[in-house]
A and B are shown apart, each in its own frame.
Chain A
Amino acid sequence: MHNILLPAKKLSGWGRYPVEECFIAKPSTVMDVQMLLKKNKEIKNWIVYGLGRSYGDTPLNKNGGVIIFTKWNHFISFDVQSGILECEAGVSFNEILDIVVPRGYFLPVTPGTKFVTVGGAIANDVHGKNHHVDGTFSEFVKDFTLLTASGEIVRCSRSENSELFWATIGGLGLTGIILTVRFQLIPIETTYIDVHYQRAKNLDEALLLFNQSDEKYQYSVAWIDCLAKGSSLGRCVLMRGNHAKLEQVDLKQRKMQTQNKNKISIPFDFPSFALNSFSIKAFNAIYYNIHPKNEKKIVDYEKFFYPLDSILHWNRMYGKRGFIQYQVVFPLESCQAGLTKMLERLSESKRSSFLAVLKSSGDENQGLLSFPKRGFTLALDIPYDDSLFDFLKSLDELVISYGGRVYLAKDSTLSPEHFKVMYPKVNEFRRIKEKIDPNHLFSSSMARRLGILED
């Protein structure tokens, strides 16, 4: 038997905060995992880590076990007629695009990076630019198999073990280990997106545009300038589009191929002063102004969906201290007031966000810890500093007062009290967890920080 457990090692998520000591295992088969869970008496609990794109402590387990499951990345079947793909949970969206794009299919939902695993996409119930019309990734999941704490492998779908299905969707890996997944792809005619760029002078204008015409676009998102003030507060560049039809592209653009361009890599940590409020303000002003007021363009999917994936290790731009991603959703009825308040706070505190994204969000699903609900979501990257936690705490309170919540895949600072208010279905989650894993064999730093498993 091969050695499958390493001594404690420092591990972090994409935001590089927090960094924690965990015992790492890299099994490549289910049997390896079953042995690991059974035989390691000294390690009390485990969590799965995929490609490390969640930002905070979702996949960390301080002084506990972390299963890096990227070797569990085999395809099982692909039905080109129906567009149903079955694969192991460690397969990445990047690998899927390589296989399915040449055969005329696309991911039904994708987050802003393709370096996520299918398992991670379910465990965080990820959403994409089409959430307002299509919902989260789990909408397209037919079924999956789950290795539970008892060592059993259970099939879960909307009709089979549905309780466990909805606890696992957005369940942060706490219900067990997702093994294989069957999900529906969507057909595409070209690898291009027909994008409509529009500038909005301020938040009110942006929300108006979103509300007026969002159903016309399958994909819809806005980049927002968090440093603009006064009458320009919340000025945006809206980027909305649909998959381009065959007749919309040139002959030479009709070849169905993945668009893996040469990548540049950030080879070292930027000094922490590189991204300061001045440079970010300058960037934001330039970014707003280089975009035309109103323009349509045919853009390749790589550029539209994954602008940052072409820069490997872009998180190093924030320096060694890292940054914190903060994403919130405000419900429709209070979003205008909530977003305005939040942008004012950011602008007042001179906390700059290099990349801030505003997007309309569709209906909530049945995932017990799933993030999106109808309204608007705002995502920010805030460089780390010592007073950041207090600031975020005040934002959490603001979010709660408007009936919103923060996205756990990006969180590393939320308190258990605030978590409980934002995710009221947690009691139902705990009930199912007690049934399936009473000894908490699956746990994580996030689960303990937020008191997800017990009050």
Chain B
Amino acid sequence: MKNVLILGATSDIAKAIAHQLARENVNLILAGRNENELNRIAADLQVRYKGNYYPKVFKPTEYEKHNDFFRETVKLLGRLDGVILCYGYLGDQKIAEQDNSMAREIIEINYLSCVSILHVAATYFENLRAGFICAISSVAGDRGRQSNYIYGSAKGALSLFLQGLRNRLSKLGVKVITVKPGFVDTKMTFGHKGMFLVAKPDKVAKDIISAIKKGKPILYTPFFWKWIMLIIKLIPEKIFMRLSL
């Protein structure tokens, strides 16, 4: 792994991934919406580590620009070994139930935009017959729950998309990794009630990098979420529908 593109580079998990990869001398493209933040993160990495770190503006829902964005990214580094998609948008479930524009925004960012940019990446790696695509989905996509089923359904769709993509690309030497984090202590979750077993971004980042290296198809992080979600998935719908989860 020499050159990696991080989409949503200002998220706390992405920052932790960037530090750990930079420490291993990986060059990075840090892509995201907030240019000031990207510059700030790139300058910090440049002082701390020895590789090259390029900030690059990327807006998930500007679909028509995805092709150009990706081409320029490859040009900056010469070649790309992998993409890690870290952005996500929790939105507000309660508002989304009343206001379809909120529901739509959650689905666009968490699902439709990922399909678009990851398909561009898929074509590149398919031709290269190497590389990896790693995307952060969520345990929320494993079963629909009343508290966040808009976000959950978008993440669930993303997980299915990645599964199909993996099926398509694995024969061509391209690894596709689906990451399903549980609760992580980040900006996205700060101050939310009812969180338990909260993991640190550093720990999650470490798991993600290790899964990429091993080519592990589906990663639950921390690992026990695999068992928690297994149990949640096993609850019969007749019972599950009465629970308030």
Contact = CB atoms under 8 A, between A and B. Distances in A.
Contact of A75 (B36, B37, B44, B188): B44
A346 B21 CA distance: 53
Interface string A75-98: 111100000000100000000001
Interface string A1-32: 01111100000000000000000001011000
26 contacts: A2-B187, A2-B188, A3-B190, A3-B191, A3-B192, A4-B187, A4-B190, A4-B191, A5-B191, A6-B190, A6-B191, A28-B187, A29-B36, A74-B40, A74-B41, A74-B43, A74-B44, A75-B43, A75-B48, A76-B43, A76-B44, A77-B43, A77-B47, A78-B47, A98-B48, A99-B47
Interface string A213-248: 000000000000000000000000000000000000
Interface in B19-63: 36-37, 40-41, 43-44, 47-48
A124 to B, nearest CB: 24
Tell me whether chain A's interface is mostly helix, strand or loop, or mixed. Answer: mixed
Contacts of A29: 36-37
A96 to B, nearest CB: 10
Contacts of A4: 187, 190-191
Nearest to B44: A74
A2 B190 contact: yes
A75 B47 contact: yes
Interface in A297-343: none
Contacts of B192: 3
Nearest to A31: B36
Contacts of A26: 190
Given A3-B190, A3-B192, A77-B47, 14 more contacts: A4-B187, A4-B191, A6-B190, A26-B190, A29-B36, A29-B37, A74-B40, A74-B41, A75-B44, A76-B43, A76-B44, A76-B47, A87-B47, A98-B48
A160 to B, nearest CB: 23
CB-CB nearest 7 A-B residue pairs: A75-B47, A74-B44, A3-B191, A2-B187, A78-B47, A75-B44, A6-B191
Contacts of A28: 187
B102 to A, nearest CB: 13
A2 B190 CA distance: 8
